[in-house]
Copies of this chain bind each other. A is one copy, B any other.
Amino acid sequence: MAIDHLDGALLELLAREPRIGVLEASRRLGVARGTVQARLDRLQSNGVIRGFGPDVDPAALGYPVTAFATLEIKQGQGADVRAHLTTVPEVLELHTTTGHGDMLCRLVARSNADLQRVIDRVVGFDGIVRASTAIVMENPVPLRIIPLVQQASGD
């Protein structure tokens, strides 16, 4: 279940140059192609690699504003709120967290003004008692996984 050093190196390589193929990866890593193929298969059936989806930048789509909203949910309304938030395209991510019916969601918007519209749409729902929003100014550490992979593979 844990990954070894070769798995780690493979993941790093794929993260740096995602479009290289199995053959090229095997050359870089100095192992046989079959080995890389087997490792990749295992990592995917393990669930370590969920997929290779394109990494789309919301800013480039015209949504340069990101915000995080903490929502307080009325007891028993969780499922309804989840269903509601799923229908809002600007909700990129939703988590339920410890606390009293709290949720945390990541939003994007076309502008600060547009963010108001998004928030109104998000909180304009019965089960939501209160919402507090934090607008993201900088993103010093974009979503990353390599350092964790290195740690998990024993550096």
Chain A interface (Cβ within 8 Å of chain B)?
1-3, 11, 14-15, 18-19, 46-63, 66, 68, 70, 82, 85-86, 88-99, 102, 104-106, 108, 134-145, 147-152
- Given A52-B53, A82-B140, A89-B151: A61 and B3 within 8 A (CB)? yes
Pairs across A and B, CB under 8 Å, 6 listed: A2-B62, A14-B53, A85-B140, A86-B141, A88-B147, A99-B134
- Integer count of this chain's copies in the complex: 2
List residues of chain B with CB within 8 A of the CB of A62. 1-2, 152
Q: Are B61 and A55 in contact (CB under 8 A)?
A: no
Residues of B within 8 A of A52 (CB): 18-19, 52-55
- B145–A14 contact, CB under 8 A? no
| Cα(A126)–Cα(B105), bound, Å | 29
Q: Give Cα A61 to B54, complex, Å.
A: 21
Report B-chain residues with C-beta under 8 Å of the C-beta of A90: 148
In angstroms, Cα B51 to Cα A15, docked, is 9
Smallest beta-carbon distance A99→chain B, Å: 6
Are B54 and A15 in contact (CB-based, < 8 A)?
yes
